[in-house]
Amino acid sequence: MIEAGSLIRSLSGRPAARNYHTFVINEIGHGIVTGLFPVGSILASDAVMMETYGVSRTVLREALKTLEAKGMVEARPKVGTRVSPTSR
């Protein structure tokens, strides 16, 4: 059985992720590195990102926790998840 979205990822020239968690980390991380999400910007809400990446809230939150541990984003209550400066 073909993994959902694997055909699109293979046609885009990007390596296929091992699982949804890795896929979300790669997509958001790539967006941060390429400037799609500028430093200091606030990422979209959980509901929007869940729809965009086609994942559950649990997968999305775990991916954001991983990115936060790497110093790429910073999550704050009632503010949202903000892209961290490159110095972090």
Residue 55 belongs to a domain with what CATH number?
1.10.10.10
Number of domains in the chain: 1
Domain membership of residue 88 (yes or no) is no
Instruction: Quick: pLDDT tens for 5-38.
Output: 555 555 655 555 568 899 999 999 999 999 999 9
Per the structure, the complete domain to which residue 32 belongs is given by 6-83
Statement: residue 3 has pLDDT above 70: no
**pLDDT the model gives residue 86:** 81
CB atoms within 10 A of CB 76: 9
Which tokens in the block code for residue 51? 């729809």
3-state secondary structure of 32: helix
Instruction: Quick: pLDDT tens for 43-69.
Output: 999 999 999 999 999 999 999 999 999
Biggest CA-to-CA distance, the chain: 43
Statement: residue 1 has pLDDT above 50: no
DSSP 77: T
Domain membership of residue 54 (yes or no) is yes
Which tokens in the block code for residue 10? 């293979």
Domain membership of residue 49 (yes or no) is yes
Q: Which amino acid is at 86?
A: T
Which tokens in the block code for residue 5? 């979205």
